[in-house]
């Protein structure tokens, strides 16, 4: 699996990836002008997950420009009650005009319509996430959600990958996953206020740019937690693009990436709330996962169809670092998902 260690352009003039592989920082320069596909097919997205294991709640925020449609969502999760509440909206033919930055460490993404508003600003190692909706229906029946969350990005490794599809090498996936960003701020959900604490709570980012084939099923899991007074993260994923050159399976421990090979998700697809298992082919990861809430959704707008199970729960088991050190996970909050998309 080639590790990229120098700054390079992402795409050749013909739209193929210059060098496929993985990296510990975003070393590919996203050159949108070299994409060899219609603007209708370019996908750009920022997805944030901010979880509080001590107060047992979380927020996820989605902003995406899929070329012929934009998808934006705010989701509140209550882990005590095992419930979620979401509001989402579609924009028509944004064609890249949403304004996603070419880099993940600077810039603003904003969107507003009658249903909700989102604004993500990144500057000087800090991410400010502002969001709200008057139409959001809180779990207690009251209305509205408003929030401002700040994430601080310490100097640390991140997971970065650039891969393409076997059936079309001009279809590509360029992705950064940033775990373990301390999270502070407040969210008002209906009549209830929730506070994030940067000493205990973390945010994670899924930052992606690409051109996809039409039908894809992917698996993704993510953890950001404190273990033994050290920040600990997991990013696990497969099924999306040809992963022969690189996987996105990593352990993040105390700011450093420890690379894993292949990881398998063992899921009862008839019951996503049944326990899951995760195992790696190099015997460095063996985890059990106990679901708390299945953030499931089904959407069918003719050409756009998605069946999503993003399941939040707790991980137990062991992972092994590059130097052979074993890390034990005990009831560590995170999520894993099984998503089938046509778009």
Query: How far, in Å, CA of 29 to CA of 105, rounded?
Result: 12
Nearest to 1 by CA among 27, 25, 20: 20
Query: How far, in Å, CA of 228 to CA of 178, rounded?
Result: 20
335 part of a folded domain: yes
Q: pTM, whole model, 2 decimals?
A: 0.97
Phi-psi region of 27 (alpha: psi -120 to 50; beta: other; left: phi over 0): alpha
324: which DSSP letter? S
Query: How far, in Å, CA of 135 to CA of 299, rounded?
Result: 20
231 part of a folded domain: yes
Which value, in Å, is the radius of gyration of the alpha carbons in the chain? Answer: 19
The mean of the pLDDT values for the chain is 96
87 part of a folded domain: yes
279 part of a folded domain: yes
CATH of the domain at 205: 2.40.370.10
Share of the chain above pLDDT 70, in %: 100
Mean pLDDT of the 224-232 span: 96
- Split into its structural domains, the chain has a count of 1
**Domain limits at 183?**
8-342
Note the pLDDT of residue 25. 97
- Residue-wise pLDDT for 35-74, tens only, equals 999 999 999 999 999 999 999 999 999 999 999 889 999 9
Q: From edge to edge, which strands make up the β-sheet containing 215-227?
A: 256-259, 250-253, 230-238, 215-227, 326-342, 304-320, 285-301, 276-280, 263-266
Query: How far, in Å, CA of 313 to CA of 268, rounded?
Result: 15
Is the pLDDT at 139 greater than 90, yes or no? no
1 part of a folded domain: no
3 part of a folded domain: no
Residue in the block written with tokens 């304004």: 99
2 part of a folded domain: no
Is the pLDDT at 1 greater than 80, yes or no? no
Note the pLDDT of residue 256. 98
Structure tokens at 176: 């950064």
Nearest to 184 by CA among 128, 254, 260: 128
């Amino acid at each position: 699996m080639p590790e990229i260690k120098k700054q390079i352009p992402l795409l050749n003039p013909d739209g193929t990836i210059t060098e496929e592989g993985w990296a510990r920082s975003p070393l590919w320069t996203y050159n949108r002008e070299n994409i060899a596909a219609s603007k209708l097919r370019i996908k750009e997205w920022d997805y944030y997950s901010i979880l509080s294991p001590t107060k047992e709640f979380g927020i996820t925020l989605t902003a995406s420009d899929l070329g012929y449609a934009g998808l934006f969502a705010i989701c509140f999760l209550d882990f005590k009650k095992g419930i979620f509440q979401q509001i989402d909206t579609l924009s028509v033919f944004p064609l890249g005009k949403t304004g996603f930055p070419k880099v993940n460490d600077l810039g603003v993404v904003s969107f507003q319509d009658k249903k909700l508003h989102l604004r993500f600003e990144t500057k000087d190692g800090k991410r400010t996430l502002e969001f709200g909706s008057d139409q959001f229906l809180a779990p207690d029946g009251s209305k509205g959600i408003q929030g401002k969350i700040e994430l601080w990005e310490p100097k640390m490794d991140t997971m970065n990958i650039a891969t393409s599809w076997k059936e079309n090498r001009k279809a590509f996936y360029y992705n950064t996953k940033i775990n373990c960003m301390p999270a502070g701020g407040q969210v008002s959900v209906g009549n209830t206020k929730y506070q994030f604490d940067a000493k205990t709570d973390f945010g994670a980012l899924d930052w992606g740019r690409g051109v996809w084939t039409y039908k894809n099923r992917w698996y993704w899991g993510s953890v950001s937690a404190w273990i033994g007074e050290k920040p600990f993260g997991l990013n696990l994923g497969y099924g999306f693009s040809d992963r022969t050159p690189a996987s996105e399976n990593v352990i993040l421990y105390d700011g450093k990436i420890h690379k894993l090979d292949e990881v398998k998700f063992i899921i009862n697809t008839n019951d996503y709330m049944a326990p899951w298992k995760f195992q790696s082919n190099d015997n460095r990861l063996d985890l059990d996962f106990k679901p708390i809430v299945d953030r499931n959704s089904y959407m069918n707008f003719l050409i756009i169809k998605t069946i999503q199970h993003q399941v939040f729960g707790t991980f137990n088991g062991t992972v092994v670092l590059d130097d052979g050190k074993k890390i034990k996970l005990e009831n560590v909050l995170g999520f894993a998902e099984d998503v089938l998309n046509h778009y």
